[in-house]
Amino acid sequence: MGDMVFQRARTDEQRTERRRQILDAAAAMLTEMPVAQLSLSALSRRVCLAKANVLRYFDSREAVLLELLEAEMADWIAELERAETPSSGDLLAELLASTLTRRPVLCDLASAQAAVLEHNISAETATRHKYAAKQSLEDLVAIVARHVPELGDDDAITFVQTVMLTAIAAWPCSRPPEAILSAFAADPELAALRIDFTDTVRRTAEVTVSGLLARRK
């Protein structure tokens, strides 16, 4: 990286560029390692800054990752908005499950959101993040309403929340550590406990949308 990395950003444009460099570096690191392994020290080394200098632009490591989560969510929503409109709840369920599966960074960040990323941040960052999350929910509800118009707004919200909570829980469970994988491989009875992320999200979405539609009759 050039000499600019070592110079303090003094203008708004320079500060924006420095924040972008930090976010880009964190995004690249998440293609190499899970969220849990990305430390502030490692991020600082990647961008050739002292930790104190990284903290000039973000509250904490968690604040960096929250902003990445927001960007990943926005990118996923844009993909869903470009998709052809499914003709049934089952096709919508397949669309959500398949697109989430192709976005491991989004799933990893989302699974860490409540337990890790929303801690060690300022009230200002928390407020900004929650407004971004509110907008994401509204965008997803609008997509669901377009794909399955029979659902009312309240049921569309319930559907989105159920699918997202399922994805958040299923992601880490579908990626067990080596010791658990070894136990699954050695014992077919235990192997039946292994969770398939795509299948779990798809089936939950299918059951949820069909159940919500049935209740409206």
Instruction: Give me the CATH number covering residue 47.
Output: 1.10.10
Whether the predicted pLDDT of 4 surpasses 50: no
pLDDT tens track for 72-125: 999 999 999 998 776 688 999 999 999 999 999 999 999 999 999 999 999 999
Q: Tell me what pLDDT residue 86 has.
A: 66
Amino acid at 91: L
Q: Are residues 53 and 71 in the same domain?
A: no
Q: Are residues 32 and 70 in the same domain?
A: no
Confidence of residue 2 (pLDDT cuts 50, 70, 90): very low
pLDDT tens track for 165-194: 999 999 999 999 999 999 999 999 999 999
Q: Tell me what pLDDT residue 5 has.
A: 43
Q: What pTM was computed for the model?
A: 0.89
User: In this structure, what CATH number is given to the domain that contains residue 190?
Assistant: 1.10.357.10
Q: Are residues 72 and 44 in the same domain?
A: no
Q: Are residues 102 and 10 in the same domain?
A: no
Q: Tell me what pLDDT residue 89 has.
A: 87
Q: Are residues 112 and 208 in the same domain?
A: yes
What total of structural domains would you count in the chain? 2
The structure tokens 């070894």 sit at 182
Q: Are residues 96 and 171 in the same domain?
A: yes
Q: Are residues 72 and 46 in the same domain?
A: no
Confidence of residue 3 (pLDDT cuts 50, 70, 90): very low
pLDDT tens track for 7-65: 565 777 888 899 999 999 999 999 999 999 999 999 999 999 999 999 999 999 999 99
Q: Which long-range contacts (CB under 8 A, 24 or more apart) does 162-166 make?
A: 162/204, 162/205, 162/208, 163/96, 163/201, 163/204, 163/205, 163/208, 164/110, 164/140, 166/200, 166/201, 166/204, 166/205
Q: Tell me what pLDDT residue 11 has.
A: 77
Residue 98 phi/psi, 5° resolution? -70, -40
* 8 A C-beta contact, residue 92 and residue 147: yes
Q: Are residues 163 and 81 in the same domain?
A: yes
Q: Are residues 33 and 85 in the same domain?
A: no
Q: What domain range includes position 145?
A: 61-215
